[in-house]
Amino acid sequence: MEIIGVKFRHGSRLYYFKPLNNKFKKGDMAVVQTTKGTDCGIVVFGNTDVRDELITVPVKAVLRRATDDDIKTVEHNQIREKEALKICAEKIEQHGLKMSLVDAEYTFESDKILFYFTADLRVDFRELVKDLAGIFRTRIELRQIGVRDKAEMLGGIGICGRELCCRSYLGDFEGVTIKMAKEQGISINSSKMTGACGRLMCCLKNEQYHYEELAKTTPKPGTRVKFSEGIGTVCEANLLTGKLKVKVSETGQTAPTETVHTVDKNDVRIL
């Protein structure tokens, strides 16, 4: 089956469509049918042949290659969204609602406006919806999202200096646990644990597999090992570098002494 990959304005999730008789390349725009209605997205990868068994969900065909008018519609909607966002923020303040407005989105055909917001508790926004419907004369939908969704929607730069993973390529949020941070040697109270959203960083999940694989070949602290300097006990292990700190006890004429040696994990033998 021949498919193309398409992304839409909000989020990094990739959607697949049949190109029909069109030849798309990266950066092209395509008009497609989604669960929200007709939409226009950007092509991430062009026509690609994949085996049918790899396709696990029904794949719709694109409606058409985006025309100049379609692109102008998208650009016009983006201008209108800024004004809608401003008006909605003012109305939220007037109603005294405890909610934080994140973004606004016009559907491609302008038959609905979606307002995304975060809130700590449930919010009764029925009067707000009535006000907005009276102003914009179209359907209004207020959608509450989580802080991780907010980070994905707004984007940003992580502590690594690159675009946030949730914005650039992550299709779905996977569970991240404190256990992962411990296994990766990160202090629980460290700011390195939290991302721009204030939650545990997705990096912990991304890197967990590699740490688990390295742990299989790296002696754990407390392991007795033999190396060129004698026999000792591993007191510290760095999974990434493969360096071990091995404590060797020696019995002298006056009192027992302990020395710590730094060795590579490949230079020791587990006893």
**Which residues on neighbouring strands pair with residue 61, listed in sequence order?**
18
End position of a domain, from candidates 66, 82, 97: 66
Type of residue at 250: E
Note whether 184 and 231 are same-domain residues.
no
Note whether 62 and 79 are same-domain residues.
no
Note whether 182 and 198 are same-domain residues.
yes
Residue range 98-150, pLDDT digits in tens: 999 999 999 999 999 999 999 999 999 999 999 999 999 999 999 999 998 89
End position of a domain, from candidates 24, 47, 66: 66
Residue range 40-80, pLDDT digits in tens: 999 999 999 888 877 777 899 999 999 999 999 999 999 99
Residue 178's contacts (CB-CB under 8 Å, 6 or more residues apart) are 188, 200
Note whether 181 and 194 are same-domain residues.
yes
End position of a domain, from candidates 145, 164, 181: 145
Residue 229's contacts (CB-CB under 8 Å, 6 or more residues apart) are 246, 248, 261, 263
Chain centroid to Cα 104, Å, comes to 21
How many domains is the chain built from? 4
Residues of the domain holding 10? 2-66
Note whether 153 and 209 are same-domain residues.
yes
Note whether 104 and 117 are same-domain residues.
yes
Note whether 76 and 141 are same-domain residues.
yes
Note whether 157 and 206 are same-domain residues.
yes
**Average pLDDT of the residues in 138-163:** 89
Query: What confidence category does residue 197 fall into, taking pLDDT thresholds of 50, 70 and 90?
Result: confident
Query: What confidence category does residue 160 fall into, taking pLDDT thresholds of 50, 70 and 90?
Result: confident
Pairing type for strands 112-118 and 139-144 reads parallel
Give the tokens for residue 194: 């939290």
Note whether 206 and 251 are same-domain residues.
no
Backbone angles phi, psi at 168, to 5 degrees: -90, -40
Cβ neighbours of 263 (radius 10 Å): 18
Note whether 258 and 199 are same-domain residues.
no
Q: What percent of the chain has pLDDT over 70?
A: 96
Type of residue at 147: V
End-to-end distance of the chain based on CA atoms, in angstroms? 55
Note whether 135 and 80 are same-domain residues.
yes
